[in-house]
Structure 1
Amino acid sequence: MNQSVDGFARPIDVMLADGNPLVLSALSEIIDRDPRFSLVATSATAEGFLGTVMRVPVQIGIIDWGLPVLGGAKLIEVLREQENAPRIVVYAEDTGDLPRLAMTAGAAAFAPRSSHAEALLETCVDVAAGKMVFPFLDVRELQSDPIHQLSRKERAILEALSKGLTNRELAKELEISINTVKFHLSNLFEKLSVKNRAQAIAFYYSSRLALERDAADGIPR
Protein backbone atom coordinates (compact mmCIF):
# COMPACT_ATOMS: atom_id res chain seq x y z
CA MET A 1 0.00 0.00 0.00
CA ASN A 2 1.45 3.39 -0.98
CA GLN A 3 1.93 5.92 1.80
CA SER A 4 -0.34 8.94 1.66
CA VAL A 5 0.88 12.48 1.40
CA ASP A 6 -1.36 15.20 2.88
CA GLY A 7 -4.21 12.69 2.94
CA PHE A 8 -3.85 11.73 -0.73
CA ALA A 9 -2.49 8.35 -1.89
CA ARG A 10 0.85 8.62 -3.65
CA PRO A 11 0.67 7.35 -7.27
CA ILE A 12 2.23 3.99 -8.07
CA ASP A 13 5.46 4.42 -10.03
CA VAL A 14 5.30 2.30 -13.19
CA MET A 15 7.64 1.55 -16.07
CA LEU A 16 6.37 0.01 -19.28
CA ALA A 17 8.36 -2.07 -21.76
CA ASP A 18 6.99 -3.53 -24.99
CA GLY A 19 8.55 -4.18 -28.38
CA ASN A 20 5.33 -3.25 -30.20
CA PRO A 21 5.27 0.56 -30.63
CA LEU A 22 1.46 0.61 -30.96
CA VAL A 23 0.99 -1.27 -27.69
CA LEU A 24 3.61 0.90 -26.01
CA SER A 25 1.89 4.09 -27.13
CA ALA A 26 -1.63 2.94 -26.25
CA LEU A 27 -0.72 1.66 -22.79
CA SER A 28 1.33 4.77 -22.06
CA GLU A 29 -1.71 6.95 -22.77
CA ILE A 30 -4.01 4.77 -20.63
CA ILE A 31 -1.62 4.75 -17.66
CA ASP A 32 -0.95 8.48 -17.98
CA ARG A 33 -4.69 9.22 -17.69
CA ASP A 34 -5.11 7.17 -14.52
CA PRO A 35 -4.37 9.19 -11.35
CA ARG A 36 -3.46 5.99 -9.47
CA PHE A 37 -0.25 5.73 -11.49
CA SER A 38 2.82 7.72 -12.39
CA LEU A 39 4.44 6.54 -15.62
CA VAL A 40 8.17 6.93 -14.98
CA ALA A 41 9.50 5.71 -18.33
CA THR A 42 8.92 3.42 -21.31
CA SER A 43 11.24 1.20 -23.30
CA ALA A 44 11.08 -0.97 -26.40
CA THR A 45 13.78 -3.36 -25.15
CA ALA A 46 14.62 -5.41 -22.07
CA GLU A 47 18.03 -3.76 -21.90
CA GLY A 48 16.46 -0.30 -21.90
CA PHE A 49 14.07 -1.32 -19.14
CA LEU A 50 16.89 -2.77 -17.05
CA GLY A 51 19.10 0.28 -17.51
CA THR A 52 16.35 2.61 -16.32
CA VAL A 53 15.15 0.66 -13.28
CA MET A 54 18.75 0.29 -12.09
CA ARG A 55 18.92 4.09 -11.86
CA VAL A 56 15.36 5.17 -11.10
CA PRO A 57 13.16 3.62 -8.38
CA VAL A 58 10.11 1.95 -9.91
CA GLN A 59 7.48 -0.03 -8.03
CA ILE A 60 5.85 -1.91 -10.90
CA GLY A 61 7.27 -2.99 -14.25
CA ILE A 62 4.87 -4.02 -17.02
CA ILE A 63 6.70 -6.09 -19.63
CA ASP A 64 5.98 -8.22 -22.68
CA TRP A 65 7.25 -11.81 -22.37
CA GLY A 66 8.81 -11.63 -25.84
CA LEU A 67 10.57 -8.34 -25.10
CA PRO A 68 13.70 -7.87 -27.27
CA VAL A 69 16.52 -8.65 -26.93
CA LEU A 70 16.87 -10.58 -23.66
CA GLY A 71 13.26 -11.70 -23.39
CA GLY A 72 11.00 -11.56 -20.37
CA ALA A 73 12.32 -14.67 -18.60
CA LYS A 74 15.95 -13.55 -18.69
CA LEU A 75 15.04 -10.00 -17.69
CA ILE A 76 13.15 -11.23 -14.62
CA GLU A 77 16.05 -13.52 -13.73
CA VAL A 78 18.49 -10.61 -13.81
CA LEU A 79 16.14 -8.41 -11.76
CA ARG A 80 15.85 -11.10 -9.07
CA GLU A 81 19.51 -10.46 -8.21
CA GLN A 82 18.97 -6.72 -7.75
CA GLU A 83 17.93 -4.97 -4.56
CA ASN A 84 14.81 -2.79 -4.79
CA ALA A 85 13.89 -4.24 -8.18
CA PRO A 86 10.32 -3.49 -9.35
CA ARG A 87 7.66 -6.17 -9.09
CA ILE A 88 6.97 -7.46 -12.58
CA VAL A 89 3.62 -7.82 -14.32
CA VAL A 90 3.90 -9.84 -17.54
CA TYR A 91 1.45 -8.51 -20.14
CA ALA A 92 1.33 -10.99 -23.01
CA GLU A 93 -0.77 -13.35 -25.07
CA ASP A 94 -2.18 -16.11 -22.88
CA THR A 95 -0.78 -19.03 -24.87
CA GLY A 96 0.30 -22.45 -23.71
CA ASP A 97 1.93 -22.54 -20.30
CA LEU A 98 3.00 -18.89 -20.33
CA PRO A 99 1.35 -17.80 -17.04
CA ARG A 100 3.06 -20.68 -15.25
CA LEU A 101 6.40 -19.87 -16.89
CA ALA A 102 6.09 -16.24 -15.80
CA MET A 103 5.30 -17.31 -12.25
CA THR A 104 8.22 -19.73 -12.14
CA ALA A 105 10.60 -17.07 -13.50
CA GLY A 106 9.69 -14.76 -10.61
CA ALA A 107 7.04 -12.41 -11.99
CA ALA A 108 4.43 -11.09 -9.55
CA ALA A 109 1.53 -11.29 -12.00
CA PHE A 110 0.34 -12.24 -15.45
CA ALA A 111 -2.22 -10.17 -17.37
CA PRO A 112 -3.42 -11.50 -20.74
CA ARG A 113 -3.52 -9.06 -23.65
CA SER A 114 -6.99 -10.36 -24.51
CA SER A 115 -8.40 -8.79 -21.34
CA HIS A 116 -9.57 -5.17 -21.02
CA ALA A 117 -6.89 -2.60 -20.19
CA GLU A 118 -8.66 -1.86 -16.90
CA ALA A 119 -7.97 -5.45 -15.83
CA LEU A 120 -4.25 -4.80 -16.34
CA LEU A 121 -4.43 -1.65 -14.22
CA GLU A 122 -6.30 -3.46 -11.44
CA THR A 123 -3.64 -6.17 -11.54
CA CYS A 124 -0.95 -3.51 -11.09
CA VAL A 125 -2.81 -2.08 -8.08
CA ASP A 126 -3.01 -5.55 -6.52
CA VAL A 127 0.69 -6.20 -7.15
CA ALA A 128 1.64 -2.83 -5.62
CA ALA A 129 -0.31 -3.93 -2.53
CA GLY A 130 1.85 -7.05 -2.29
CA LYS A 131 -0.43 -9.56 -4.00
CA MET A 132 0.39 -12.10 -6.70
CA VAL A 133 -2.09 -12.38 -9.57
CA PHE A 134 -2.07 -15.40 -11.87
CA PRO A 135 -5.41 -16.27 -13.50
CA PHE A 136 -6.25 -19.96 -13.82
CA LEU A 137 -3.22 -21.01 -11.73
CA ASP A 138 -3.06 -22.46 -8.26
CA VAL A 139 -0.39 -20.10 -6.96
CA ARG A 140 -0.16 -22.00 -3.69
CA GLU A 141 0.90 -25.13 -5.54
CA LEU A 142 3.58 -23.29 -7.51
CA GLN A 143 4.95 -21.61 -4.42
CA SER A 144 5.03 -24.89 -2.50
CA ASP A 145 8.23 -25.95 -4.30
CA PRO A 146 11.07 -24.11 -2.49
CA ILE A 147 13.30 -24.44 -5.58
CA HIS A 148 11.29 -21.58 -7.14
CA GLN A 149 12.22 -19.32 -4.22
CA LEU A 150 15.96 -19.60 -4.87
CA SER A 151 17.93 -16.88 -6.62
CA ARG A 152 20.00 -17.71 -9.69
CA LYS A 153 23.17 -17.80 -7.57
CA GLU A 154 21.56 -20.06 -4.98
CA ARG A 155 20.41 -22.47 -7.67
CA ALA A 156 23.95 -22.56 -9.09
CA ILE A 157 25.34 -23.30 -5.63
CA LEU A 158 22.79 -26.06 -5.04
CA GLU A 159 23.69 -27.70 -8.34
CA ALA A 160 27.40 -27.38 -7.54
CA LEU A 161 26.77 -28.85 -4.07
CA SER A 162 25.26 -31.92 -5.71
CA LYS A 163 28.66 -32.57 -7.32
CA GLY A 164 30.27 -32.75 -3.87
CA LEU A 165 32.24 -29.49 -4.14
CA THR A 166 33.77 -27.99 -1.00
CA ASN A 167 33.28 -24.34 -0.02
CA ARG A 168 36.70 -23.51 -1.46
CA GLU A 169 35.87 -25.28 -4.72
CA LEU A 170 32.47 -23.55 -4.84
CA ALA A 171 34.14 -20.17 -4.41
CA LYS A 172 36.57 -20.93 -7.24
CA GLU A 173 33.92 -22.27 -9.64
CA LEU A 174 31.48 -19.40 -9.02
CA GLU A 175 34.22 -16.75 -8.74
CA ILE A 176 33.05 -15.47 -5.35
CA SER A 177 34.65 -15.36 -1.91
CA ILE A 178 34.35 -18.18 0.61
CA ASN A 179 32.45 -15.84 2.94
CA THR A 180 29.96 -15.16 0.15
CA VAL A 181 29.59 -18.90 -0.40
CA LYS A 182 28.80 -19.34 3.30
CA PHE A 183 26.25 -16.51 3.14
CA HIS A 184 24.48 -18.10 0.16
CA LEU A 185 24.57 -21.54 1.79
CA SER A 186 22.93 -20.16 4.91
CA ASN A 187 20.11 -18.61 2.86
CA LEU A 188 19.84 -21.76 0.77
CA PHE A 189 19.45 -24.03 3.81
CA GLU A 190 16.83 -21.73 5.29
CA LYS A 191 14.73 -21.58 2.10
CA LEU A 192 14.86 -25.37 1.66
CA SER A 193 14.24 -25.98 5.38
CA VAL A 194 17.31 -28.20 5.66
CA LYS A 195 20.11 -28.22 8.24
CA ASN A 196 23.21 -29.24 6.28
CA ARG A 197 24.79 -29.95 2.89
CA ALA A 198 23.74 -33.59 2.84
CA GLN A 199 20.09 -32.69 3.31
CA ALA A 200 20.34 -29.97 0.65
CA ILE A 201 21.82 -32.45 -1.84
CA ALA A 202 19.09 -34.99 -1.01
CA PHE A 203 16.47 -32.30 -1.60
CA TYR A 204 18.06 -31.39 -4.94
CA TYR A 205 17.96 -34.96 -6.26
CA SER A 206 14.45 -35.65 -4.96
CA SER A 207 13.25 -32.47 -6.71
CA ARG A 208 14.93 -33.52 -9.97
CA LEU A 209 13.34 -36.97 -9.76
CA ALA A 210 9.91 -35.38 -9.30
CA LEU A 211 10.45 -33.17 -12.35
CA GLU A 212 11.59 -36.15 -14.42
CA ARG A 213 8.53 -38.17 -13.38
CA ASP A 214 6.23 -35.28 -14.30
CA ALA A 215 7.97 -34.91 -17.67
CA ALA A 216 7.59 -38.64 -18.34
CA ASP A 217 3.88 -38.41 -17.45
CA GLY A 218 3.42 -35.34 -19.63
CA ILE A 219 2.67 -33.06 -16.66
CA PRO A 220 3.88 -29.44 -17.29
CA ARG A 221 5.79 -27.73 -14.48
Structure 2
Amino acid sequence: MTVAFAPEGEGDAPAAVPPAGDQPAAPTPPAGDPPPPAPVAAPPAAPAGLEAFWDAEKAALNVDGLAKLVADDQARRAGVPEAPDGYKMELPADFALPDGLTFEPQDTPLGQSVRAIAHEFGLPQAAMSKLLAAYVDSQAQEHRQVIADIAAEQAKLGPNRDARFSAMDGWIKANLPDHHAVLAQRLPVDAGLFQAVEALIARANAGIPSATGGGGEAMSEEAYFKSLFKN
Protein backbone atom coordinates (compact mmCIF):
# COMPACT_ATOMS: atom_id res chain seq x y z
CA MET A 1 0.00 0.00 0.00
CA THR A 2 1.30 3.44 -0.83
CA VAL A 3 1.04 6.25 1.71
CA ALA A 4 0.88 9.80 0.50
CA PHE A 5 1.76 12.71 2.75
CA ALA A 6 0.02 15.94 2.51
CA PRO A 7 2.15 19.10 2.49
CA GLU A 8 2.92 20.51 5.87
CA GLY A 9 0.11 22.49 7.38
CA GLU A 10 -2.51 21.10 4.98
CA GLY A 11 -4.17 18.26 6.77
CA ASP A 12 -4.05 16.23 9.88
CA ALA A 13 -3.81 12.65 8.57
CA PRO A 14 -2.58 10.96 5.50
CA ALA A 15 -5.14 9.49 3.10
CA ALA A 16 -4.76 5.99 1.90
CA VAL A 17 -4.97 5.65 -1.87
CA PRO A 18 -5.68 2.13 -3.04
CA PRO A 19 -3.82 0.89 -6.04
CA ALA A 20 -5.54 0.99 -9.38
CA GLY A 21 -6.11 -2.75 -9.41
CA ASP A 22 -7.84 -2.74 -6.06
CA GLN A 23 -10.57 -0.20 -6.92
CA PRO A 24 -14.18 -1.58 -6.50
CA ALA A 25 -16.07 -2.62 -9.69
CA ALA A 26 -18.96 -0.51 -10.96
CA PRO A 27 -22.31 -1.74 -9.68
CA THR A 28 -24.30 -3.96 -12.11
CA PRO A 29 -27.61 -2.37 -13.04
CA PRO A 30 -30.66 -4.33 -11.94
CA ALA A 31 -32.06 -6.76 -14.50
CA GLY A 32 -35.30 -5.50 -16.15
CA ASP A 33 -38.07 -7.19 -18.31
CA PRO A 34 -36.79 -8.96 -21.44
CA PRO A 35 -37.31 -7.04 -24.67
CA PRO A 36 -40.59 -7.92 -26.51
CA PRO A 37 -40.30 -10.36 -29.43
CA ALA A 38 -40.20 -8.91 -32.86
CA PRO A 39 -43.70 -8.78 -34.45
CA VAL A 40 -44.51 -11.56 -36.94
CA ALA A 41 -45.43 -10.18 -40.32
CA ALA A 42 -48.97 -11.08 -41.45
CA PRO A 43 -49.17 -13.24 -44.59
CA PRO A 44 -50.03 -11.28 -47.70
CA ALA A 45 -53.71 -11.13 -48.51
CA ALA A 46 -55.30 -12.11 -51.82
CA PRO A 47 -55.99 -9.26 -54.22
CA ALA A 48 -59.61 -8.10 -54.11
CA GLY A 49 -61.78 -10.09 -56.49
CA LEU A 50 -59.16 -12.81 -57.04
CA GLU A 51 -59.63 -14.74 -53.80
CA ALA A 52 -60.65 -17.89 -55.68
CA PHE A 53 -57.26 -17.94 -57.43
CA TRP A 54 -55.08 -17.16 -54.42
CA ASP A 55 -52.63 -19.84 -53.23
CA ALA A 56 -52.23 -19.09 -49.51
CA GLU A 57 -49.43 -21.60 -49.09
CA LYS A 58 -47.33 -19.98 -51.79
CA ALA A 59 -48.70 -16.49 -51.11
CA ALA A 60 -49.18 -16.05 -54.83
CA LEU A 61 -51.86 -16.12 -57.51
CA ASN A 62 -52.73 -19.36 -59.27
CA VAL A 63 -51.77 -18.05 -62.67
CA ASP A 64 -52.82 -21.20 -64.54
CA GLY A 65 -56.33 -21.13 -63.08
CA LEU A 66 -56.70 -17.44 -63.80
CA ALA A 67 -55.50 -17.88 -67.37
CA LYS A 68 -58.03 -20.69 -67.91
CA LEU A 69 -60.83 -18.47 -66.61
CA VAL A 70 -59.89 -15.72 -69.03
CA ALA A 71 -59.64 -18.16 -71.96
CA ASP A 72 -63.02 -19.72 -71.15
CA ASP A 73 -64.65 -16.31 -70.88
CA GLN A 74 -63.20 -15.23 -74.22
CA ALA A 75 -64.49 -18.42 -75.84
CA ARG A 76 -67.94 -17.84 -74.34
CA ARG A 77 -68.07 -14.25 -75.55
CA ALA A 78 -67.12 -15.37 -79.03
CA GLY A 79 -70.39 -17.33 -79.22
CA VAL A 80 -72.64 -14.42 -78.22
CA PRO A 81 -74.29 -12.74 -81.21
CA GLU A 82 -74.15 -8.98 -81.59
CA ALA A 83 -77.93 -8.62 -81.21
CA PRO A 84 -80.80 -10.75 -79.84
CA ASP A 85 -82.09 -11.60 -83.31
CA GLY A 86 -78.71 -13.16 -84.07
CA TYR A 87 -79.61 -16.27 -82.06
CA LYS A 88 -80.68 -19.31 -84.06
CA MET A 89 -83.58 -21.31 -82.68
CA GLU A 90 -81.92 -24.61 -83.48
CA LEU A 91 -81.41 -27.79 -81.45
CA PRO A 92 -77.96 -29.20 -80.63
CA ALA A 93 -76.59 -31.55 -83.25
CA ASP A 94 -76.58 -34.48 -80.80
CA PHE A 95 -80.20 -34.00 -79.68
CA ALA A 96 -82.56 -36.73 -80.91
CA LEU A 97 -86.26 -35.98 -81.15
CA PRO A 98 -88.61 -38.74 -79.94
CA ASP A 99 -90.21 -40.84 -82.66
CA GLY A 100 -93.14 -39.15 -84.33
CA LEU A 101 -92.20 -35.62 -83.29
CA THR A 102 -90.75 -32.84 -85.40
CA PHE A 103 -89.37 -29.44 -84.47
CA GLU A 104 -90.17 -26.40 -86.59
CA PRO A 105 -88.87 -23.15 -85.10
CA GLN A 106 -91.21 -20.19 -85.39
CA ASP A 107 -90.76 -16.52 -84.64
CA THR A 108 -93.13 -16.23 -81.68
CA PRO A 109 -93.31 -13.58 -78.92
CA LEU A 110 -91.94 -16.19 -76.49
CA GLY A 111 -88.97 -16.84 -78.75
CA GLN A 112 -88.26 -13.13 -79.04
CA SER A 113 -88.33 -12.75 -75.25
CA VAL A 114 -85.97 -15.69 -74.80
CA ARG A 115 -83.52 -14.20 -77.31
CA ALA A 116 -83.57 -10.85 -75.54
CA ILE A 117 -82.93 -12.43 -72.13
CA ALA A 118 -80.16 -14.66 -73.47
CA HIS A 119 -78.42 -11.65 -75.02
CA GLU A 120 -78.82 -9.59 -71.83
CA PHE A 121 -76.97 -12.21 -69.80
CA GLY A 122 -74.38 -12.98 -72.47
CA LEU A 123 -75.40 -16.55 -73.25
CA PRO A 124 -73.59 -18.08 -76.23
CA GLN A 125 -75.46 -19.80 -79.04
CA ALA A 126 -74.56 -23.24 -77.63
CA ALA A 127 -76.31 -22.40 -74.36
CA MET A 128 -79.38 -21.17 -76.22
CA SER A 129 -79.57 -24.44 -78.14
CA LYS A 130 -79.32 -26.48 -74.95
CA LEU A 131 -82.10 -24.46 -73.33
CA LEU A 132 -84.24 -25.02 -76.39
CA ALA A 133 -83.51 -28.75 -76.25
CA ALA A 134 -84.60 -28.85 -72.60
CA TYR A 135 -87.88 -27.16 -73.52
CA VAL A 136 -88.52 -29.49 -76.47
CA ASP A 137 -87.74 -32.52 -74.32
CA SER A 138 -90.24 -31.39 -71.66
CA GLN A 139 -92.88 -30.91 -74.35
CA ALA A 140 -92.14 -34.38 -75.71
CA GLN A 141 -92.61 -35.90 -72.26
CA GLU A 142 -95.95 -34.12 -71.87
CA HIS A 143 -96.96 -35.39 -75.31
CA ARG A 144 -96.14 -38.97 -74.34
CA GLN A 145 -98.15 -38.57 -71.15
CA VAL A 146 -101.16 -37.24 -73.06
CA ILE A 147 -101.00 -40.21 -75.45
CA ALA A 148 -100.88 -42.59 -72.49
CA ASP A 149 -103.84 -40.86 -70.82
CA ILE A 150 -105.91 -41.03 -74.02
CA ALA A 151 -105.13 -44.72 -74.43
CA ALA A 152 -106.22 -45.36 -70.84
CA GLU A 153 -109.52 -43.50 -71.37
CA GLN A 154 -110.24 -45.27 -74.64
CA ALA A 155 -109.59 -48.65 -73.04
CA LYS A 156 -112.53 -47.95 -70.73
CA LEU A 157 -114.87 -47.96 -73.75
CA GLY A 158 -114.21 -51.59 -74.58
CA PRO A 159 -113.10 -53.40 -77.73
CA ASN A 160 -115.74 -51.78 -79.99
CA ARG A 161 -114.62 -48.26 -79.18
CA ASP A 162 -113.48 -47.54 -82.76
CA ALA A 163 -116.97 -48.26 -84.10
CA ARG A 164 -118.48 -46.09 -81.42
CA PHE A 165 -116.12 -43.24 -82.31
CA SER A 166 -117.11 -43.51 -85.99
CA ALA A 167 -120.81 -43.51 -85.16
CA MET A 168 -120.51 -40.44 -82.94
CA ASP A 169 -118.41 -38.61 -85.51
CA GLY A 170 -121.00 -39.27 -88.22
CA TRP A 171 -123.85 -38.15 -86.00
CA ILE A 172 -122.12 -34.91 -85.01
CA LYS A 173 -121.30 -34.03 -88.62
CA ALA A 174 -124.87 -34.74 -89.73
CA ASN A 175 -126.71 -32.99 -86.92
CA LEU A 176 -124.52 -30.18 -85.57
CA PRO A 177 -123.12 -27.03 -87.16
CA ASP A 178 -119.60 -27.26 -88.49
CA HIS A 179 -118.04 -25.42 -85.56
CA HIS A 180 -119.15 -28.26 -83.27
CA ALA A 181 -117.30 -30.91 -85.26
CA VAL A 182 -114.35 -30.51 -82.91
CA LEU A 183 -116.36 -32.47 -80.33
CA ALA A 184 -115.57 -35.63 -82.22
CA GLN A 185 -111.88 -35.01 -81.54
CA ARG A 186 -112.20 -34.07 -77.89
CA LEU A 187 -114.67 -36.64 -76.60
CA PRO A 188 -112.44 -39.73 -77.00
CA VAL A 189 -110.03 -38.36 -74.37
CA ASP A 190 -112.65 -38.56 -71.63
CA ALA A 191 -114.55 -41.85 -71.42
CA GLY A 192 -117.14 -40.49 -68.99
CA LEU A 193 -117.96 -37.50 -71.17
CA PHE A 194 -118.04 -39.69 -74.26
CA GLN A 195 -120.58 -42.01 -72.67
CA ALA A 196 -122.71 -39.06 -71.54
CA VAL A 197 -122.85 -37.58 -75.06
CA GLU A 198 -123.48 -41.04 -76.46
CA ALA A 199 -126.51 -41.34 -74.17
CA LEU A 200 -127.81 -37.95 -75.30
CA ILE A 201 -127.44 -39.01 -78.93
CA ALA A 202 -129.33 -42.21 -78.25
CA ARG A 203 -132.13 -40.19 -76.65
CA ALA A 204 -132.22 -37.77 -79.57
CA ASN A 205 -132.31 -40.64 -82.07
CA ALA A 206 -135.35 -42.12 -80.36
CA GLY A 207 -137.66 -39.37 -81.56
CA ILE A 208 -135.90 -37.74 -84.51
CA PRO A 209 -135.36 -39.84 -87.65
CA SER A 210 -132.91 -37.39 -89.20
CA ALA A 211 -130.67 -37.64 -86.15
CA THR A 212 -129.30 -41.02 -87.10
CA GLY A 213 -126.40 -39.51 -88.97
CA GLY A 214 -127.22 -41.54 -92.04
CA GLY A 215 -129.17 -39.32 -94.40
CA GLY A 216 -131.68 -36.53 -94.24
CA GLU A 217 -131.00 -32.91 -93.54
CA ALA A 218 -128.92 -31.96 -90.52
CA MET A 219 -130.71 -30.47 -87.55
CA SER A 220 -130.32 -26.81 -86.73
CA GLU A 221 -128.47 -25.99 -83.55
CA GLU A 222 -131.67 -24.75 -81.90
CA ALA A 223 -133.58 -27.91 -82.87
CA TYR A 224 -130.79 -30.11 -81.62
CA PHE A 225 -130.70 -28.59 -78.15
CA LYS A 226 -134.48 -28.67 -77.92
CA SER A 227 -134.41 -32.36 -78.82
CA LEU A 228 -132.10 -33.13 -75.92
CA PHE A 229 -134.77 -32.11 -73.45
CA LYS A 230 -137.79 -33.46 -75.31
CA ASN A 231 -140.01 -35.74 -73.23
TM bucket normalised to smaller: under 0.3
Normalising by the residue count of structure 1, what TM-score does the alignment of the two structures yield?
0.24
Higher RCO, Cα 8 Å, sep 6+: 1
Larger Rg computed on CA atoms: 2
TM-score (norm 2): 0.23
